[in-house]
Amino acid sequence: MHRLILAAAAALSLGACATPAPTLYQPASGPQAVGYSEYRIEPGRYRITFHGGPGAPVQQVSDYALLRAADLAIAQGYDWFKVADRVTEGRPDNGPQVSIGIGGATFGRHSAVGVGVDRGFSLGGGPSLSSTIEVVMGKGERPRGPDIYDARALRDNLGQRI
């Protein structure tokens, strides 16, 4: 019993130390760190990924990827960009989980069956959600279409939320 209490206290103290990083609009410090990263595919074409922290809302992660695309377009002298491909991966919520397990064993002439129910929670450990978009940038009048954005207008609108 003493070992069980000690193990529970250790787990709780680890949970208190593992405060998840907030989801901020910033460059990612590593491949799985919270923040944005981009890869230039060719002139005017980028793959942008934004990794959100544990519990980050889907909309926030998606908006931050779009915001990075707008910032890149403006910095490169483009007026608009089109999202050519979009992928969202991971879980939007790193909240508590419940699991149920059933197992059995045979010991000589005896057998046993067990059922277990457990609750778990995340201790952090990196992003839980990421949004990757591939964008094609252009100059001049913006074409019409559902996934074509005016870079400056998007920057002005989404930039106010940060």
Asked if pLDDT for residue 93 goes beyond 60, the answer is no
Single pTM value for the model:
0.69
pLDDT of residue 124 exceeding 50 = yes
User: Domain boundaries in the chain?
Assistant: 20-94+126-159
Lowest mean pLDDT among 24-28, 82-86, 87-91, 134-138: 87-91
Which residues are 120's β-sheet partners? 97
**158: closest CA among 68, 87, 94?**
68
- Report the pLDDT averaged over residues 48-60: 91
Q: Which has the closest alpha carbon to 37: 110, 102, 125, 131?
A: 131
